Chains A and B, each alone.
Chain A
Amino acid sequence: MTGFYTLTENMKPEKYKYLILTLLLAFTLLIRLPILAEPWGADQAGYGYIAKGILEGKVPYKDMYDLTAYGIFFTFALFFKLFGMTMVSAHIGHLIVSLVTVVLVYLLTDRLYGRNAALISGLCYTIFSNGLAFSGFGYENKSAWGTYWYLSQREVFMAPLVLGAVFLLILREKRNGMFVDLINGLLIGLAAFYKVTAVLMLVLFILIVAREESVGIEGFNLKRIVGAILLMVFGFTLIQLPFLYYFWKHDALGDVYQALFVHLSSYAKLSRGLRIETLFSGHYSVMRENLILWLFAFASLLHILFKDRSRNNLLIALWTLVSLAMVWGQGKFFGYHFILIVPPFAILTGYGLPIFLASGSGCKEFLMNNFSDIRKTFILVTVLFCLAGFGISDYEYYRRHALYFMGKMPQQEYYEVFSEFPTHPYSFRSDYRIAQYLKEKALPGEKLGVIFSAGDTVIHFLTGMEPVTRFIQSWYLFPSDASLAANPITARLRDELVDQMIRTAPRFILCVHIPLEKLVQIPSVKDDPGMIRLYEFVKAHYRLETFPDNRFLFVKL
């Protein structure tokens, strides 16, 4: 490799490797400190409530309905078990997983491309995976404030699992292939808990292992190929068994199947169809912050494919492409979907930057060598431009947290920015106020009914009030699309919600985002007799208290 700035390469002793890693971890920790103060986003509120329920003996889907794969619920439950039943526990989990991912990125790059590249990759990962860009909504170039929207999202936990599997596949060249295949199956299986798109990685691994076994020293060996594939598939399946047993034991397998395979698939068309503006908007929202990773990743990919086709380089290239496919495959282009691409992009940046820039034994020589070539000057300026852009866009985020941590900003003022209304129905600042109100007014054991919500489960978590129905998030019962609203499952679940709400008649009923009288008029549900019945019921027996950001709390007369 033609050198970059050769400072770290001169640090030959092994101990420096770990010194750099320790400094990198300290830096990772430092720049992520604000996450310990941030509240939950809309999705996290749902995950957190279900995780709490699991620890209290409830069963996801059966007692707490959701359309999300179950891996994330158990992960949150684990964090609650370890760090206590608070919002910050989930963020501590995020922090720990980020540190693990940094270690893996650093060690993997060090093994493949050396100390310089490892430092660059590690820095790139730690900085850019903590950017605000991953809070993007995927449309209209809009983003949530800060990082709270993507903290502890499923992709955060998938990234180190996939990265670990890639690391193992690289080690497979020299280690026991069978053991590695089994562990890889387990790791990918775990990743698939969170999102089923991880299956793409399994397919990639199977193809790679099959190819390697077929062109190895011993030549084509069908038994070895079949054995390797079976081991991976076995590992992938094995990890599912404890969870399947859990649902079977609680008589909830049918509910899991209904939610994740029947109901979810009907909703998939809400976001699929690859609207071109969403595609562009989602990419723009992310790339504007970490463009440098994309540029180096694509330029390095080309360099690898045309010039440097070693086994491991190709593996990194394919992993990158599959990660992109995992993002694109979802068709929504939310910011946090892109978290999966940061590890391979960071590694490719570590690979590419020393190749594309001239080396130098000191800062001055390094600059002079690069400034003598306009292309290298361009690359250097681009790197600095992107870092400056990152700093500018994140400045307010860190400034606000510094004021909060130093006690110069009260909590209520700090929470003011955590509202995505009206771009998205979720508003933590308002939900927090409702929670304070309910804590004051509600009597022990009273329930909170929610008619239309999107993440406002956080109120249940903050107050400890039980919901009336199992629909802790119910936006999907009131879709704007008429065919989805008329879908038999949706209609049945909506009836269930209405029946339980009227039967229980809780003291408090919350409707978020849309006033109840408008909700019952949306074309897709306006002819639903259940909804009309619910509206009449609420109108007759409740009075309205309004909160900011279109929160309508009905209190029983």
Chain B
Amino acid sequence: MDKNRKSLDGVRVKEIGFIFCLVAFAGVLRIPSLTQPLGPDQGIMAVIGQGILNGKLPYRDYWEMGSPAVFFTYALMFKLFGIRMVAIPITDILVSMLTTLLIYLLGRLVWNREAGYASALFFAFFSNGVRLGMHAGGDIAFGTFWYIAQRETFMLPLIVGSFYCILRAERGGKSLWMLGWSGFLSGLTFIYKFPSLLIFFCLLLYLNKAVLIPRVKERWDGLLIKNFVLISGFVLALAPFVLFFISQGAFHEMTDVIFKYVYSVYGNIEHNYLSIIKMALTRTFFIAQENFILWIFFIATSIYMIFNERSKENLLMVLWGLASVLFVISHREFFGYHYLMVFPPFSMLAGYGIIKALGPRINLREIFTEEPGKAFIIFAILANLVFFATLNYMHYTKFYYYVTGKISQEEYYAFFDAYPKHDYSFPADYEAARYIVNHTEETDRIFVLGGTESVIYFLSQRTSPSRFIFSWVLFSRTHGRVPQAETYRQELLTDLRRKSPKYIVTIRPLDTFEQFSDIYSFIRNHYLLEKKLQDDRFLYVDRKYEAGKI
């Protein structure tokens, strides 16, 4: 190990070449995402991101349950790349390339160059699999459109960066600055998703190893300062967001939604732990079929390290992997993109494991004749590649057919349809948006009732009369039953009455909203069904427009 560390001092041309290839590889693999349309979450984030650029605010002007960082990220990407769908995959690609680079740097720092290369390669490859688009109903989303540019995507480089900084800090140099940065980056991840606190705990544990491991000696005053700096960095990252919302007078709205309402829903759900475990195992195994080599290496390398190489940095990597798994579990939903969080630590441990198991140089003749264990591992990797190719084949071929003109845009978009397993259907929403554009003025308002179809606002560039730019929460069996939801529904009804939209698009037939009698009656009385679109989309037009009064 010491020998490897010495070699860290110099960066060679060959190394730069390798890194460039790895990062480029991460980018090239993701090219098909450039033509993909928006997924449901991305549609919501895009509307809010664009709104921020127009001076509006999340929560106050756009109701959402998620924490705020991602909306500002979307605003930033639109600022950089223009307000269009392709800005989202471009950003996703760049962020994934950055994460690949950071994983290499971390692997190189903790172990050696070879482990860094292998870790980065594992990450670049497997974090682009289609199975990460898994949603509640399983394999419902085509390609990668469901999970690109999700919150986790942006958290990954921040987390890897925070681990890099804390390790650099502990190895000397500008240690306090590095610690501060580590805390700051962790704090930023917290603003994307609160459960990332679990990963921050890993950093705290690592920093306080002297307290936990008797053989590690460290002065207590020095330790206190380090803790102070790390936590200060973390808090410092939160401050701008808090101050911004306070200055805009929207802090209360933010906490009202992301704490009060969310807790009223999730805090009162009665959990059947047996079914959660069943769901966890089923969905994890479903995801792991595409990248099982990472899971096996994560477990095997962790066991090996615990039994044979218990250095504090190795144990930090193991701890990170476990915390990432806990991050996924903490959501209790096990959506595909939640698992993005496990890829950096799993790739790191897989990178180390494969170099340790196969050695830096592979001699096939020797492996086949003398080392059956190595042959077994090589076959396992090949099998995983076959699995990956099988699952991802369509994603790449459809893209190829589309860009070479062998299929039309309509045919291509038809793949991005999760209906009826999930409400979302991009082709239907695209059709609705086109119809709306052709039948409205730019100043006309529209509203989408039910579903997660904010994408219709984004595609048509029409505004909603209400801050509820997606409204499944108001009508769902869980979210729609809490007292706060009734207040929200009344707010929505008031908005609809006051600023009546020209068109209302219902996701599923209007009768499915019958139990919400106020809203149902309002639409029945004031709107007429003008068009039925595919996948149970119904376009209702305001009667006064229909009657030619305006």
Contact = CB atoms under 8 A, between A and B. Distances in A.
Residue among A296, A300, A377, A395 with the highest chain B CB neighbour number at 10 A? A377
A306 B369 contact: yes
B56 to A, nearest CB: 44
B282 A374 contact: no
Contacts of B304: 371, 374, 377
A388 B296 CA distance: 12
A385 B281 CA distance: 12
A299 B393 contact: no
A474 B490 CA distance: 59
Contact of A378 (B297, B368, B387): B297
A392 B307 contact: no
Interface stretch (A12-20, A257-265, A277-285): A277-285
Interface stretch (A199-207, A287-295, A314-322, A402-410): A287-295
Interface in A361-398: 368, 371-382, 385, 388-389, 392-393, 395
Nearest to A382: B296
B242 interface: no
B289 interface: yes
Given A381-B296, A385-B295, A389-B285, A280 B389 contact: yes
Interface in B165-212: none
Given A280-B393, A284-B386, A299 B372 contact: yes
A355 interface: yes
B308 A299 contact: no
A302 B368 contact: yes
A291 B285 CA distance: 13
B385 to A, nearest CB: 11
B299 interface: yes
Interface in B453-511: none
A299 B375 contact: yes
A311 to B, nearest CB: 20
B364 to A, nearest CB: 10
Residue among A352, A355, A379 with the highest chain B CB neighbour number at 10 A? A379
Contacts of A368: 307
B383 A375 contact: no
A277 B393 contact: yes
Contacts of B369: 306-307
A536 to B, nearest CB: 33
Contacts of B375: 298-299, 302-303
Nearest to A279: B390
Contact of B390 (A284, A295, A371): A284
A375 B281 contact: no
Residue among A284, A376, A380 with the highest chain B CB neighbour number at 10 A? A284
Interface in A337-358: 352, 355-356
Nearest to A381: B300
B376 interface: yes
B307 to A, nearest CB: 5
A550 interface: no
A214 interface: no
Given A303-B372, A352-B372, A298 B393 contact: no
Interface string A486-499: 00000000000000
B301 interface: yes
A201 B438 CA distance: 68
B357 interface: yes
A376 B373 contact: yes
A379 B373 contact: yes
A2 to B, nearest CB: 11
B377 A287 contact: no
Contact of A375 (B370, B376, B389, B393): B376
A291 B383 contact: yes
A281 to B, nearest CB: 6
Contacts of B379: 294-295, 298-299
Contacts of A277: 390, 393-394
Interface string B347-367: 000000100110000000000
Given A306-B368, A372-B308, A379 B376 contact: yes
Contacts, number: 112
Contacts of B376: 295-296, 299, 356, 375, 378-379, 382
A471 to B, nearest CB: 35
A281 B390 contact: yes
B278 interface: yes
Contacts of A381: 296, 299-300, 303
A356 B546 CA distance: 77
B60 interface: no
Interface in A302-337: 302-303, 305-307
Contacts of B246: none
Nearest to B376: A299
Given A306-B368, A356-B372, A371-B303, A378 B377 contact: yes
A352 B299 CA distance: 22
Given A284-B390, A378-B297, A378-B377, A385 B292 contact: yes
B387 A284 contact: yes
Nearest to B295: A385
Q: Is the interface of A mostly helix, strand, loop or mixed?
A: helix
B387 A288 contact: yes
Contacts of A377: 300, 303-304
Residue among A288, A305, A376 with the highest chain B CB neighbour number at 10 A? A288
Given A374-B301, A379-B373, A393 B357 contact: no
Contact of B372 (A284, A291, A355): A355
B528 interface: no
A374 B356 contact: yes
Given A281-B390, A283-B390, A356-B372, A378 B296 contact: yes
B391 interface: yes
B380 interface: yes
A280 B296 contact: no
B374 interface: yes
A375 B373 contact: yes
A394 to B, nearest CB: 11
Contacts of B282: 392, 395
Given A284-B391, A355-B372, A372-B307, A385 B296 contact: yes
A141 interface: yes
Contacts of B303: 371, 377, 381
Contacts of A305: 368
A433 to B, nearest CB: 23
A31 B278 CA distance: 20
Contacts of A303: 368, 372, 375
Contacts of B390: 141, 277, 280-281, 283-284
Interface string B244-279: 000000000000000000000000000000000010
Nearest to B369: A306
Contact of A373 (B373, B386, B391, B394): B373
B363 to A, nearest CB: 13
A373 B288 CA distance: 24
Contact of A371 (B281, B292, B307, B380): B307
Contact of B386 (A287, A372, A374): A287
Nearest to B306: A371
Given A291-B292, A368-B307, 5 more contacts: A371-B304, A371-B308, A378-B353, A378-B376, A378-B380
27 contacts: A277-B393, A280-B386, A283-B390, A284-B390, A287-B386, A295-B380, A299-B375, A299-B376, A303-B375, A307-B370, A356-B373, A356-B376, A368-B307, A371-B307, A374-B357, A375-B371, A377-B303, A378-B297, A378-B353, A378-B357, A381-B299, A381-B300, A381-B303, A382-B296, A382-B380, A392-B285, A395-B282
Interface of B: 278, 281-282, 285, 288-289, 292, 295-297, 299-301, 303-304, 307-308, 353, 356-357, 368-377, 379-380, 383, 386-387, 389-391, 393-394
Those 3 A-B pairs whose CB atoms lie nearest each other, nearest first: A375-B373, A284-B390, A280-B390
Interface of A: 141, 277, 280-281, 283-284, 287-288, 291, 294-296, 298-300, 302-303, 305-307, 352, 355-356, 368, 371-382, 385, 388-389, 392-393, 395
